[in-house]
Amino acid sequence: MIDKKEWIPFMWGVVSENEEIVRKMLKTFDISHHEKENKAAATPLHIVTGKGRQARTLDVMISNLGFDKMAKDILDRTVLHVAAYCGFVACVHKLIDHGVEINVSDKDEKIPLHPACSRGKEDVVHLLANSGATINRYSWGNETTRLNYAVGNNNTEIIQF
């Protein structure tokens, strides 16, 4: 059963942050559906991460429920790309703790550092850089580095970093 957002019921359970509901659904339904994607190929992990304040739920989904921490959406963005784009430091930190690839590229060769810089998410930029993100990596589409993004947005904190 899929709704207008192309979500299966399990996705709503995940977004509710109710760990017990998620566990019951996993026991009741075929576990192969837990990575079910919507039209944008966003997995439940992408959706939870995009909501932000759900680092604990993210942790449970990866540690206890076996979700793919490196799953990609239709544009090859990982869950780390989503967390960096949104500026959710706790989620970025939790993903790094789980050993995600920090320099993974999307279809435009952007690594998670690029959207964090372009959106002025200074705390995320510092965390990614201090965790091994490639600082001067070019993105394919417009051949820009994180410094280009920071200058374009007049973000002196990121420029100085």
CA distance 9 to 86: 25
> Each residue of 105-156: pLDDT tens digit?
999 888 999 889 888 898 999 999 999 998 775 555 555 655 555 555 556 5
Question: Which has more confidence, 51 or 140?
Answer: 51
Q: What angle do CA 88, 114, 54 make, to 5 degrees?
A: 15
- Whole-Å CA distances, 32 to 13, 42, 66, 68: 16, 16, 11, 12
Tokens of 143: 């051949």
Question: Which has more confidence, 50 or 131?
Answer: 131
CA distance 81 to 111: 7
CA distance 137 to 74: 22
Residue 38 near residue 5, CB atoms below 8 Å: yes
CA distance 117 to 72: 21
Tokens of 88: 């959710």
CA distance 127 to 93: 8
Domains (range + CATH), the chain: 9-160 (1.25.40.20)
Question: Which has more confidence, 3 or 62?
Answer: 62
pLDDT given at position 106: 92
| Helix ranges restricted to H, 29-145 | 44-51, 55-63, 79-86, 89-97, 113-118, 122-130
> Each residue of 64-118: pLDDT tens digit?
778 899 999 889 999 999 999 999 999 999 999 999 999 999 998 889 998 898 8
With CA atoms as reference, report the closest residue to 64 among 89, 113, 27.
Answer: 27
